[in-house]
Structure 1
Amino acid sequence: MKRNQKFKVQFYPKKQKAKNGDVQLYIRIVVDLKRAEIATTHYIPSSAWNEKKRRVKPSFSKSLFLNAYIDKVINDINQIFIQEVSQGNTVTSTDIKNKYLGVDEKPTQKTILDALDYHNNKMEEKVQIGQTAKKTYTRYVITKKKVVAFMKYQYKIKDKSLSELRLRFATEFEHYLLTQDNLHTNTAHKYIKNLKTVMNMSVGLDWISSNPFKNFRCSYIAPKREVLTQEEVDRIRFKEISIKRLAEVRDVFIFCCYTGFAYADIYEFEYDAIVKGIDGGSWLKTNRKKTGVKESVPLLPVALEIIEKYREHPYCLNKNRLLPVNSNQRYNGYLKEIADICSIKKKVTSHIARHTFATTITLSNGVPIETVSSMLGHSSIRTTQIYAKVIESKVSEDMQNLKAKLSQLVEASPDQRKMG
């Protein structure tokens, strides 16, 4: 029996696997100089990798999460190797890889539902330890349900082998979602994007050699984002509301308008969440529930007034919460009542506050888009450019300035005007 096998496991960024300028993290397992590799789902800028320490640099926004993930994976694979060796087994790098992935060395023919189940089970485990938002997991559960319904409708079958999948499957799935489920193109393509992610995972597990849906282009049509004008914000803010529950919801909504935090993040803020910022002022900081990206916002006077108003509120004291925030369903229902009371015809929801912060409160008042992007916790400024619709008052102001400049040019050149 062979003893003292040479074993090593480490992470590295694979530059050949780049996506939007970022490189994909891979796991490399080496046993007796023979390699086996596993593709992870994580991408980082190449500059964020510390080659010497083989860890993500602390300056990268997701470094804590990724380095904890790296440590856990390395520990898990080490334990697998130790267990095999302690049992007197001689192993290869491929053996360790398959043990870690929970697959056989020669996997049986996997199906699309096998892949979806495997992916969703792994994601559910991440939800339980706080590494993935439950909302994201729910979307993949719905994706599976729609795939099941589609196969029953289109092919009269319950499942389909991965090896039988072709691009046509994705094309027909899109048509089904648009015509039978009556979904918007953006929504339909989100489900197909989820399916492509699962197929990429299947490639990494060696269940299929390539992603059959790789060439399906998922598009995005920027929707019309509703925002409140400053006059509408003030109308809600200063409205006399005698009903306590509505007054509290109004205050939380105005707080969101002046901070840009999403409802899910506001709900999580504890009583002592305020911290001192780099400028010595009061700030709120969190990792976005939706993306995990850090979001830091200096508090404006309006937001500070609302926090101070509820410092002695029984709910905040008993539940250790910054503000008296209701469940999302009740919150949006109450916002509808508030909109009616304030004679606002727009559909006022929890998320319109975030849009309003991006446009009416910040961009319209000259805050640079880079600063707004940082405060909103966007990983890409392109997201902010879609998010931040320029409101009519800003357009009008810019056009008035242009008219004034053009008038000055005409007045300064009377001779040229005659010649024209």
Structure 2
Amino acid sequence: MKSNQTFGLHYVLRLNKERKGRYPIYARIVVNKTRVELSTKQYIHKSDWDQARDKAKPRTDELRLLNSYLEELRAKIAMHYRELKLSDEGVTAETVKAAYLGISIESLNDGGRTLLWLVKQHNTIMKEVLRWGTLKNYHTTERYLREFLKTQSRSGDIPLRRLTYSFLTGFEHFVRTVPLKNYDRCTNNGTMKHIERLKKMSAWATRNEWIAKDPFVNYQLKFQHKVREFLTELELQSLENRHFDDPVLQKVKDLFVFSCYTGLAYADVMALQPGNIVAGTDCFSWIQICRVKTNTPVDVPLLDVAKKILEKFKREQAIEERDTIFPYVPNQVVNRSLKIISEICGFSKRFTFHVARHTFATTVTLCNGVPIESISKMLGHTKITTTMIYAKVVKTKISEDMVALREKLEKAKKPKQLYIAV
């Protein structure tokens, strides 16, 4: 760069950001006629600051150490300024600050679009689109990203163009091995969910042309498919016939069984209103709702067991004058109660409310010959491949299908009798 560059750095107190009688010290960088300020993350009492000498009054060892730190910081920033001059880059106060923080000039030229900027933009926009239960998972992914970025850059962030395949593999290893909470390391599928959320944000950035190439082009998500728990026919009958003296356990049991015969998720059961129950042209009453999670329309005919439970709670609703058919029971209370119910009934499987939805898909419908396409519609799946997971786990259904096939083949092999008219 030309020799007519001017560079200066001095320290100032931010008097409008007082904290317990102490004020933050900022480094003010000046290059030619451009100026920026950089937080030193140090605080000092106003009476301990020597404004004329641009440093703390060395009254104590702590203040003398502070002066040493400020001199080291001055030297580092000056070094970055000299390096920028030698590289013949356009030197401004902003580029000097960016160089010290580890932010590339390319990032500045890109309008300051960094990875954390992308995450913030995505979460702000999706706040009006995603439910909180989904959005909070994005915030957890953001926490992992912030922790990982601290190991990758002095500034704790990177330009979007540095979101590469090698960054993804490094992030995957970090999530697998560094827990946010002590002794709570992320599982394989949990790790993949974090990577999947980053992939969605990366694709969004690519569509907006903020990055030239999606770094996930050659990256493969490695989910481990687990067998989904569901109640067998005997277990479901045992649960239906059991009565609990505890009113909360009985209420949760009824909600769970209702879901077993309708396939509705917890949020959909809690949101069900009288207007969602309609009479069909057939012999069924129907549940017509849009799923809370996906806003997908769902039509489910009411089987007798579900209808009896519904009528019971509708009578209670009329007395209590609530908008929804079922009284609100927090999800934590439901799953805690189901754990108790599971122990009382002697069920060895992991028992959550979503097991009821799996039971509807397998024991109630698939094992009784309901076509997979119909099950998919009633569950509100947008892809039938999602529903096909249940077909893979129901060995009883496979066995029944093969028995039927064997009988059909044996029948076809039998010689046909000829009847001669007399």
125, 131, 134: which is aligned to 1:133? 131
170, 188, 191: which is aligned to 2:191? 188
Corresponding residue number in structure 2 for 1:145: 143
Deviations 1:305-331 (A, max 9, x none): 001112221597332211234110000
CA distance in 2, matches of 1:139, 1:396: 40
Unpaired runs of at least 5, structure 2: 1-108, 180-184, 416-422
Residue 299 of structure 1: how far off its partner (Å)? 0.7
Distance 1:161 1:390, change over 3 A: closer
211, 214, 218: which is aligned to 2:217? 214
Q: Which runs of 4+ in 1 moved over 6 A?
A: 405-412
Residue 185 of structure 1: how far off its partner (Å)? 2.8
Corresponding residue number in structure 1 for 2:239: 236
Task: Tell me which moved more, 192-201 or 261-270.
Answer: 192-201
Task: Tell me which moved more, 183-192 or 393-402.
Answer: 393-402
Deviations 1:21-73 (A, max 9, x none): xxxxxxxxxxxxxxxxxxxxxxxxxxxxxxxxxxxxxxxxxxxxxxxxxxxxx
TM norm structure 1: 0.66
How many aligned residue pairs are there? 302
251, 264, 268: which is aligned to 2:267? 264
8 A Cα contact 1:273 1:322, kept in partner: no
Residue 333 (structure 2) pairs with residue 330 (structure 1):
yes
Residue 296 (structure 2) pairs with residue 296 (structure 1):
no
Distance 1:356 1:389, change over 3 A: farther
Corresponding residue number in structure 2 for 1:108: 111
Corresponding residue number in structure 2 for 1:176: 174
Deviations 1:364-409 (A, max 9, x none): 0000000000000000000000144443433443454466678779
Distance 1:316 1:326, change over 3 A: farther
CA distance in 2, matches of 1:245, 1:217: 45
CA distance in 2, matches of 1:114, 1:290: 27
Residue 360 (structure 2) pairs with residue 360 (structure 1):
no
Higher RCO structure (Cα 8 Å, ≥6 apart): 1
Q: Counterpart of 1:356 in 2: which secondary structure?
A: helix
8 A Cα contact 2:276 2:289, kept in partner: no
Deviations 1:316-354 (A, max 9, x none): 733221123411000011111111222222121100000
CA distance in 1, matches of 2:384, 2:403: 28
Residue 121 (structure 2) pairs with residue 123 (structure 1):
no
Q: Counterpart of 2:298 in 1: which secondary structure?
A: strand
8 A Cα contact 2:266 2:354, kept in partner: yes
TM norm structure 2: 0.66
Residue 187 of structure 1: how far off its partner (Å)? 2.3
CA distance in 2, matches of 1:360, 1:388: 11
Deviations 1:78-122 (A, max 9, x none): xxxxxxxxxxxxxxxxxxxxxxxxxxxx75131100010011111
Q: Counterpart of 1:286 in 2: which secondary structure?
A: strand
Deviations 1:285-309 (A, max 9, x none): 2221222211110111111100111
Q: Counterpart of 2:157 in 1: which secondary structure?
A: coil
Distance 1:353 1:221, change over 3 A: same
RMSD: 2.5
CA distance in 1, matches of 2:226, 2:344: 27
Letter in 2 for 1:207: W
8 A Cα contact 2:287 2:299, kept in partner: yes
Deviations 1:205-264 (A, max 9, x none): 343222233321223332111111011001000112222111111111000000000001
CA distance in 1, matches of 2:400, 2:283: 34
Unpaired runs of at least 5, structure 1: 1-105, 413-420
CA distance in 2, matches of 1:244, 1:350: 18
286, 308, 313: which is aligned to 2:311? 308
Q: Counterpart of 2:325 in 1: which secondary structure?
A: coil
CA distance in 2, matches of 1:352, 1:133: 22
Identical pairs, percent: 38
Distance 1:110 1:154, change over 3 A: closer
Distance 1:192 1:316, change over 3 A: farther
147, 162, 181: which is aligned to 1:164? 162
CA distance in 2, matches of 1:135, 1:173: 23
Residue 178 of structure 1: how far off its partner (Å)? 2.2
Residue 377 (structure 2) pairs with residue 374 (structure 1):
yes
239, 245, 248: which is aligned to 1:245? 248
Residue 179 of structure 1: how far off its partner (Å)? 2.8
CA distance in 2, matches of 1:233, 1:329: 22
8 A Cα contact 2:317 2:326, kept in partner: no
Residue 144 of structure 1: how far off its partner (Å)? 0.8
Distance 1:191 1:173, change over 3 A: same
CA distance in 1, matches of 2:219, 2:277: 46
